[in-house]
Amino acid sequence: MNTKRRTAIVTGAARGIGAAIARRLAADGMAVAVIDLDESACADTTGSINDAGGTAMALAADVADEAAVNKAVAGVADALGPPTVLVNNAGVTRDDLLFKMTAQDWDTVVNVHLRGSFLMSRAVQGHMVEAGFGRIVNLSSTSALGNRGQANYAAAKAGLQGFTKTLAIELGRYGVTANAIAPGFIETEMTAATAQRLGMDFADLKKAAADQIAVGRTGRPDDIAHAAAFLAGEEAGFVSGQVLYVAGGPTN
């Protein structure tokens, strides 16, 4: 149980994994700021939190835009109090084999994941240090281990692991932990889009993926929300700089 009401920011929380994390942190007693590209797209997430008796607000920001990030974090601090929990979840894919990958597709993916997580963490860390408490959770991926067609995404997700460990080292003395979750296949619009790109039915892609997963099923956003709730919780203060693979089995 939280002894004190915390304010959390979850990026990319209009849908998918981010929405599940936002709902779970709110259910655990946190006030939650839902950040995504389009404020109106956040209405489902904030509406369900507020309907359940929680506190949520929506803000539009592109996490790769420095001015927008600083403005959004200041807005959260004003409206909900200093943010001391940050989940860097916003993400995009621009998959292609290396020889076809455009520089634009490289930059877009690296900017959203790496620059976005950097800008958000830098904007929030002052509030955490001042509070003597903070929890940063970054969304990596099993793709960090290498994945055909995802040179940009794999590099960004591996980069996030080094970023996470460095934040843990720099901020630990201020009561701030930083950890990464590396999901395997999770059923969201992101993986549905992958099926479309491959010319496959989503059900067939899920079945093919499940056949390769030890627990025999693909993941759901709530599987990641459970892990995020643990890492963001009060009691997880001695867990820092870790990468938790949430993938239904061991990873190589």
121 interacts with ligand NAD by CB under 6 A: no
The only residue of 189, 201, 204, 234 in contact with ligand NAD, by rule CB under 6 A:
189
Cβ–Cβ under 8 Å, residues 8 and 33: yes
CB atoms within 10 A of CB 78: 9
Q: State yes or no: is 153 an active-site residue.
A: yes
CA dihedral 132, 13, 26, 217 (to 10 degrees): -110
Site stretch for ligand NAD (CB under 6 A), options 70-78, 127-135, 180-188, 228-236: 180-188
How far is the first Cα of the chain from the last one, in angstroms, to the nearest whole number? 34
Q: How many residues bind ligand NAD (CB under 6 A)?
A: 27
* Cα–Cα distance measured from residue 1 to residue 28, given in angstroms and rounded to the nearest whole number: 7
Among residues 118, 133, 153, 185, which one is catalytic?
153
**DSSP per residue over 102-136, as a string?**
-HHHHHHHHIIIIIHHHHHHHHHHHHHHHHT-EEE
Rule CB under 6 A: choose which of 7, 11, 150, 240 binds ligand NAD.
11
Neighbouring C-beta atoms of residue 214, cutoff 10 Å: 10
Regarding 139 and contact with ligand NAD (CB under 6 A), the answer is yes
User: In this structure, are residues 122 and 134 in contact, taking their beta carbons and an 8 Å threshold?
Assistant: no
Q: List binders of ligand NAD among 15-74 (CB under 6 A).
A: 15-18, 36-37, 62-64
Q: Which of residues 73-92 bind ligand NAD (CB under 6 A)?
A: 89-92
Residue 2 CB, shortest distance to ligand NAD, in Å, is 24
Selected from 149, 183, 233, 248, the binder of ligand NAD by CB under 6 A is 183
Catalytic residues: 153
Residues that bind ligand NAD (CB under 6 A): 11-12, 14-18, 36-37, 62-64, 89-92, 112, 116, 139, 141, 183, 185-186, 188-191
